[in-house]
Amino acid sequence: GAGVSQSPSNKVTEKGKDVELRCDPISGHTALYWYRQSLGQGLEFLIYFQGNSAPDKSGLPSDRFSAERTGGSVSTLTIQRTQQEDSAVYLCASSFTATVGGYTFGSGTRLTVV
Amino acid sequence: TQLLEQSPQFLSIQEGENLTVYCNSSSVFSSLQWYRQEPGEGPVLLVTVVTGGEVKKLKRLTFQFGDARKDSSLHITAAQPGDTGLYLCAGYNNDMRFGAGTRLTVKP
């Protein structure tokens, strides 16, 4: 597609349940990033994929968070046993290279844990 | 502690006024980017600056990268209500780290 697509756009889940968030990057973009944005805050880096290299998971806040990228394209961010503090907007971005070039962001998934 | 400190955190001005927002760090970056984010949307890239001292203009927006590549400023001339949004700076060194943003409101 023309842009980065994220689904669902909104997700309400009960505390303790698992959720999966999906990101379809721009075709041909080798780098893919996940960020988390809490209300009124900047973007918190979560994880970064570059081509076939091992992902940089240094930003994942706990072992309840994991992500994978299949076939160098679609990525899924999984949060297990969700907690209320996981409530945030989860943003995905892709770029043509991992270096200087700017990111194209999706519109995000707003996750609410009740 | 934010790697990139943005100031002010909030700014509310009247249409037609000028403003400057700042992005500061103790780290040197190979490049720095500015994004604007509107409610319910992801950030949209405005500009990338790479060279220390570089100045880029985008219509009424002027971006400057500090000589030491640690800081940047964004100046808006004759602000319009359409400029309202969250302005984020992001510094790149192996990965991109974002500041908390300046939330700008331009009142008609």
Residues A88-110: pLDDT tens digits?
999 999 988 756 667 899 999 99
- Distance, in Å, from the CA atom of A102 to the CA atom of B14, rounded to the nearest integer, reads 31
Total residues belonging to chain B? 108
pLDDT in tens, B12-27: 999 999 999 999 999 9
CB contact (8 A) between residue A42 and residue B50: no
Query: Smallest CA–CA separation between B18 and chain A, in Å?
Result: 24
β-pairing, B10-14 vs B102-107, is parallel
CB contact (8 A) between residue B98 and residue A45: yes
Instruction: For chain B, give the mean pLDDT.
Output: 94
